[in-house]
Structure 1
């Protein structure tokens, strides 16, 4: 009988590394952003390996969660800049790109990506981020 499994993966960052509000049009800014995107993708691959996630699934649901350290106003759409390389890293990689292979691609055919969730801060705790990955064990291919 198939089971629906949800795996929680704690991310190593206390806040998003990228934001949709980031600006910078210089070559240096573009290179810095590319380095952060690469770091996020590679971290997603390493965390998937450490968590023992399956590979070759038909479909997954991946949702980013963020608990900030304070109660400043934040928009969930700003988390998309950090979420995208996480999704890309969990899917199969491409030419010269890190990818775990949880699913063949991060397109809607293979991956659902609900809007990120921003949780209220918890007094005495710093910020934290995590992913919740849900899949059907019957779909496990590898």
Structure 2
């Protein structure tokens, strides 16, 4: 049976909308995240599904206050990497983002579960 969940690293600070990082730092963070998501989706052998439902769970590295409204922007490069691995256009993906953070996890993590049409 194929894994339905992958575990990504916690988003680098440059990926958060409120971060004032240079264009080069942001681009490097996006490249790294896209490559990580691509590799994990390939390893999990996720099927080609242009209408996949991606459900996100964010487990922060500490108890600092964070805004859940920034979560979608931090995952754009990861979504692109998953689409690359599936060889599909991500325009049909349905991404479900949480309204609250999960439990604190050492180093932080983002779990992405794949499912079919709801």
State whether TM-score is above 0.5: yes
Displacement of 1:48 in angstroms is 0.8
| Cα distance between partner residues in 2 of 1:6 and 1:52 | 8
State TM-score, norm by structure 1. Answer: 0.69
> Residue 120 in 1 paired to residue 91 in 2?
no
Matches within 5 A, 1:70-85: 70-85=62-77
Find the structure with the greater CA-based Rg. Answer: 1
Segments of 4+ moved more than 4 angstroms: none
| Cα distance between partner residues in 1 of 2:18 and 2:74 | 12
Contact 1:19/1:80 (8 A) holds in 2: no
Matches within 5 A, 1:37-52: 37-52=30-45
**Gap runs ≥5 in structure 1:** 92-98, 137-142
Displacement of 1:115 in angstroms is 2.0
| Cα distance between partner residues in 2 of 1:58 and 1:85 | 17
Q: Secondary structure at the match of 2:89?
A: coil
Name the Cα RMSD after superposition: 2.1
> Residue 105 in 1 paired to residue 89 in 2?
yes
Q: Secondary structure at the match of 2:85?
A: coil
> Residue 23 in 1 paired to residue 20 in 2?
yes
Q: Secondary structure at the match of 2:56?
A: strand
**Gap runs ≥5 in structure 2:** none
Q: Secondary structure at the match of 2:116?
A: strand
Contact 2:3/2:44 (8 A) holds in 1: no
**In 2 relative to 1, CA 6–76 (structure 1 residues): closer, same or farther, beyond 3 Å?**
farther
State TM-score, norm by structure 2. Answer: 0.81
